Structure 1
Amino acid sequence: MTYTTLHRALGVPAGPVTEQMLHDAVAARVGEAEDLDWKEAVDDGKDSAKEFGKDVAAMANTAGGVIVYGVREDGAGHAAELVGLTNPHPLVQSLRGKAGMVRPFVPALRIHAVPLNPPGHAGDHAIVVEIPRSPDAPHLVPQSKESWGLPRRRGSDTDWLGESDLETAYADRFARRRAADDHLADLAGQLSDRLTQTTRTVWVTVAAACSVPSAADTADAVDPNQEEPSLVQALDLLPNDNQLRDAFDRATVRPRTGLRRAVVSSDNPYNGTSTDCHLELLHDGSFAAAMELGEATYDHLPGTQRSARQGFLEVCIRDLVTVAAVHASRRGADGMLQVQVGIVPTAPTEVGPVGLIHRHPIKGSPELVPNSITLSRVVPATAEAPLADAVSSDTRRQQLTRELALDMVQQFAVPTLRSL
C-alpha cells in the first residue's frame, strides 16, 4: 500500500494516488523527494526505455515511491500545474514494457491511469507509477550496450551505487531473505500455545507473509459481531470438499481480537486454545493457522506414533493458503506471497514419529500409506507466488498449493497426491 512524501505532505492515509490528491499537490506546491517524481509528459525517445528503467530501479533500490506523469513542475521540483495526458492507455502499456529493462523485475510494480475531470486540463488522465521498496533490491538497468548499473535516489536526484554500496546492497538482500524465512517460522511458532496438546495430536501449520506488507496501523478494528471477511471470501473460492467449511459454523467464524490481529477458532466458546482449527489474520497482511490432522482413534498405530491423513493434509493446505492469499490482498499487502507449511506434533513429551495414512477404500479403516515411512521430524515446505496471481488465478493458486503439498507428502516416500 503506497505511502510517500505526497501522502505525508497532504495529510492523507496510505493508498492509491487520486485526482484530488493531484489537485491538492499543485495547490500546495508539493516538491519532489526521494520517493516522489513529477513528469509533464511520457518520453518516447530513443533512450526512453533506459531512462524509465533507471527511474524505477532507483526508487526500488531506495525507499520506493511514485512517479506521476501529467504534472508540470516549476523548475525547482515543485508541482505547478496539472496538465494531464491524452490517450493514456497506449502510454501505460508502453511504460509497462519499458519496465522490463529492470533486472530483476520489481515485484508489485503498478502503472495505471488516473482519470481527470475536464475542463481545466489539456489531457483527461494522469499516469501514476507506484514502486514499492523492493525485497529483491538491488536492481540493475543497462547503462550502455556493454555495462549495467545500479541506480538509487538521493533526494530528488538519481545517481549510481559504487562498489562498496553494491556490496552492502547484496548483503542486505540476503539478510532480508533470511529475515523473511525467520518471520514465517516465528508466525508458525507463535501458534503452539494456542493449540490443544495431547499425546497423539498432529497439526498442519500454514504461515504466510507478503514481501510488501501493508501498513498495520491502517487496519479496521476487529468486529466480533461480524463474520471474518477474509475467511468468508475464501470459502466462496473453495470447492465443496473444504475442511474450513466443516470446521466452522456461523458463530465460530466470527473473530476475536488479538494483538494486532483477528483470531478465529473453531471452538465456541474460545478459551485460549483450539482443538480443531485456529487462524490468526494479522493487520499487516501476514497469516498463521493450524488444523488438526489426526484420526479419532489410534488403535492401529503402535506406541506413540502419530498420524496425518494424506487427503486431509492436502485439502487443509489448499484451504489455508487460499485464506492467506485473500487476507493479504484485502489488507493491501503486495509483492510475493511467501508461504511455509509444516506438520507439528504439539505435545511436549512422548513425541513419536508421524506416519502418513489414508482410509482403505474397501475396509473403510485408516491404514498407513503403502511404502510410506514414518518421520520423527517433518521438514517445513516453502514456496511463493505473486500475490495478485494467487488471488485472481485459480490455476496459479492450485499450482502453489500442489507444490507445497507435494513437498510435504514426498517426505514420507509418497510420490503423488490423492486429493488435489
Structure 2
Amino acid sequence: MPTLRNRRLEQLLGGAIDETLTYAQVKGLIPDTTEGPDLDFKRDTYSGDRGRKALSGDVAALANASGGILVLGIDEDDQGRAAADTGVAIGDDERRRLRQTVVANVQPTPTFDIIPVENPERPGTGFLVIWVARSATAPHAYIAQNKAMLYPRRIGTETVWLSEGEVAEAYRARFAGFANRVEETAQIEADFVQRLAPDEVFAVVTLVPDLPGSAPIDSAALHAFQLRNATREVGAFGIRLGTFHRSTVRRRCLVGTGSMKPSQPHSRLACELHESGSGVFGGAKMESRPEVEDGACKLVDNQWLTVTIGTGLNVLARHARDQAAAGGLATVRATIWPATSQVPVALVANVGWHNEPVGRELVSEPPVAEAVADIDDLSAGGAGLVATTYRLASELFQGFGAAEAEGVTPEGAIRLPCWHLSWRDELSRWARSAGVEVLPGTPA
C-alpha cells in the first residue's frame, strides 16, 4: 500500500504514516494535541449499526476533504484534545471487519489503510490508525441501509453532509479533473516523442496519477536512479526488454535512455520520470524486420508490443508509487510512434509464420489507447498489470483491424499458446511466481 503523505501529521507523529509507526510515536500525541481537519480521535472502535454509519461517514468525510487520520484508542477531553490512551483490539479480525465495512458502505472506495500499533505492555491491544488519502474520485458517498446516498465532508473538526448543489459541484470537479489528466497524458507524450530516434518505431506509454506526488530531483536521486538502471534489465511477464544505458536529468524529471551518447535522440529504450510522479516510457524492440527491405511500411511484432506496454506500465507505476508516493488511480495512455501516410505501420505475428499479418489495416497515424488503472496493481506486476496491458494493447490492435491482444486476457491471465514458443517457459515461471493464471487454449 502507499503511505499517506501529510507534512503536518508527520511532524506531529515524528515519522511517516505507515507500518513503521511505533506506540511511543502515537502516544506522543497525548496530551494536548488537538483534533483538526485531518486528525480525529476515537476512544473506542466502531461497532454495531451506529458504528458502521459512523466509520463510513468519517472515512468518506476525510476523502471528500483533504484526507487525514482517525486514531482509535485515544480519548479526548471536552476541547477535542488527546487526553488518554484507552487502547483497542488491533487483531487481524478487527482490522478485517473495519476494512470490509468501509469497502461495503463507501462508494467509490477511497484509498485508505488501517495500521495496527501495538502496546508493548499489552499485546493484542494498542492503537488503530486509519489513514485516508485525499481523493481525485470524490465525492464519496455513504450508502445507507435504505440505499440512500449521503455525502459527508470534514470541515474543521466536524463532519457535515453536502447539499444537492454541493454534490453536483463535486461531481463536476471530478469530471473536469479527469479531462485535465487525459489532456496532460497527451501533452507529456507529444513532448516525449520529439526526442525519439525518428528511424525507429516505438510503443509509448504515459501515466499520470490522479493525485500528484513529489519525487525529489537532486544529486542523490540521480545517483540512486543510475544505480538502479545499472543493475537491472526492465521487462514484463518474465520477458526482458532492455537496459537504460545512460541516466541523466531534464527539468524536473529523471531520464533513462538506451542512447550511449549525450545529445542524441532516445534510441531503443527511454523513460522520463517526472517530479510529480507522472512519467512516459518508450521501447523500440518491437519492430520486426521484413524479408525484403522495401520501405513501404514498418512492421510491429504483436507480442513485443504487448510486452513493451506491460513494461512501461510497471516502470512508470513503480516510479509514481515508490519515488513520488502517489497512490490510488492513474490515467494511462499508449500509442505507436511514428506512423505516417508516407511510412505506415502494420501489425504482424511471429508465433507461426514469419511476419504473419494481424488484422488487415495499415496505420498511417499514431493510434491511441487510454484507460484508468490502480497504481498499486500496476506496481505489483501481477494480474492487475496483465489486465491493464490487455486493455491498452487491444485498443491499439483494433486500429489494425484485430479484435484483441490474444496473449493476455481482460481478467489478467496469460494465454500461453499465443506467445512465441521460446518465451513460454519464462512466461510460465513468471506467472507462477506472480499468482497469474495461465490458460492453455486460444480465444474462441
Q: TM-score range by the shorter chain?
A: 0.7 to 0.9
- Does residue 10 of structure 1 match 2:9? no
C-alpha change, 1:107 and 1:149, in structure 2 (3 Å) is closer
Moved more, 221-230 or 156-165: 221-230
**Match in the other structure for 1:354:** 345
Shift of 1:296: 5.6
- Does residue 329 of structure 1 match 2:310? no
**Match in the other structure for 1:164:** 165
Q: Which amino acid letter does the alignment assign opposite residue 149 of structure 1?
A: L
Instruction: Check whether the contact 1:10–1:25 (CA below 8 A) recurs between aligned residues.
Output: yes
Computed over aligned residues only, the root mean square deviation of the Cα atoms, in angstroms, reads 3.1
**Match in the other structure for 1:269:** 261
- For 2:90 and 2:225, the matched residues in 1 are separated by 44
- For 1:392 and 1:282, the matched residues in 2 are separated by 20
C-alpha change, 1:338 and 1:107, in structure 2 (3 Å) is farther
**Match in the other structure for 1:384:** 372
**Match in the other structure for 1:314:** 306
> Which of 28, 40, 43 pairs up with 1:24?
28
Residues 305-360 of structure 1: per-residue CA shift (max 9 Å, x gap): 3332323212211222222233233222211243211112188xx75322223459
Residues 383-404 of structure 1: per-residue CA shift (max 9 Å, x gap): 2332333333522222221222
Moved more, 313-322 or 96-105: 96-105
Shift of 1:256: 1.4
C-alpha change, 1:3 and 1:75, in structure 2 (3 Å) is farther
Residues 31-68 of structure 1: per-residue CA shift (max 9 Å, x gap): 11111111111031332111111111111111111111
Shift of 1:87: 4.5
Shift of 1:233: 6.6
Instruction: Check whether the contact 1:50–1:101 (CA below 8 A) recurs between aligned residues.
Output: no
**Match in the other structure for 2:336:** 343
> Which of 43, 54, 73 pairs up with 1:51?
54
- For 2:187 and 2:156, the matched residues in 1 are separated by 36
- Does residue 286 of structure 1 match 2:274? no
C-alpha change, 1:7 and 1:372, in structure 2 (3 Å) is same
Shift of 1:228: 4.9
Instruction: Check whether the contact 1:222–1:257 (CA below 8 A) recurs between aligned residues.
Output: no
Instruction: Check whether the contact 1:230–1:327 (CA below 8 A) recurs between aligned residues.
Output: no
Instruction: Check whether the contact 2:259–2:268 (CA below 8 A) recurs between aligned residues.
Output: yes
- For 1:95 and 1:234, the matched residues in 2 are separated by 41
Instruction: Check whether the contact 1:208–1:339 (CA below 8 A) recurs between aligned residues.
Output: yes
C-alpha change, 1:213 and 1:370, in structure 2 (3 Å) is closer
SS at match of 1:25: coil
Shift of 1:372: 1.5
**Match in the other structure for 1:77:** 80
Moved more, 130-139 or 99-108: 99-108
Shift of 1:205: 0.4
Shift of 1:279: 0.9
C-alpha change, 1:296 and 1:43, in structure 2 (3 Å) is closer
> Which of 395, 409, 421 pairs up with 1:407?
395
- For 1:110 and 1:220, the matched residues in 2 are separated by 33
Normalising by structure 2, we get a TM-score of 0.80
**Match in the other structure for 1:255:** 247
Shift of 1:414: 2.1
C-alpha change, 1:234 and 1:382, in structure 2 (3 Å) is farther
Instruction: Check whether the contact 1:206–1:290 (CA below 8 A) recurs between aligned residues.
Output: yes
Shift of 1:6: 4.7
Residues 360-413 of structure 1: per-residue CA shift (max 9 Å, x gap): 956x5xx46165211222431122332333333522222221222122112211
Q: Which amino acid letter does the alignment assign opposite residue 2 of structure 1?
A: L
C-alpha change, 1:368 and 1:124, in structure 2 (3 Å) is same
- Does residue 41 of structure 1 match 2:41? no
Residues 188-240 of structure 1: per-residue CA shift (max 9 Å, x gap): 12212321224xx422100113334433359883234764538967748641x
The structure with higher relative contact order (CA 8 Å, sep 6+) is 1
SS at match of 1:209: strand
Q: Which amino acid letter does the alignment assign opposite residue 301 of structure 2?
A: R
- For 1:401 and 1:209, the matched residues in 2 are separated by 16
- For 1:225 and 1:36, the matched residues in 2 are separated by 34
SS at match of 2:128: strand
Unaligned runs of 5+ in 2: 407-417, 421-444
- For 1:61 and 1:298, the matched residues in 2 are separated by 58
**Match in the other structure for 1:203:** 202
Percent identity of paired positions between Structure 1 and Structure 2: 22
Instruction: Check whether the contact 1:84–1:122 (CA below 8 A) recurs between aligned residues.
Output: no
Instruction: Check whether the contact 2:203–2:305 (CA below 8 A) recurs between aligned residues.
Output: yes
- For 1:146 and 1:225, the matched residues in 2 are separated by 50
- For 2:220 and 2:384, the matched residues in 1 are separated by 32
> Which of 83, 89, 93 pairs up with 1:90?
93
C-alpha change, 1:6 and 1:72, in structure 2 (3 Å) is farther
Q: Which amino acid letter does the alignment assign opposite residue 211 of structure 1?
A: D
Count of aligned pairs: 402
- For 1:404 and 1:215, the matched residues in 2 are separated by 27
- For 2:262 and 2:29, the matched residues in 1 are separated by 49
C-alpha change, 1:5 and 1:88, in structure 2 (3 Å) is farther
Instruction: Check whether the contact 1:53–1:101 (CA below 8 A) recurs between aligned residues.
Output: no
**Match in the other structure for 1:129:** 130
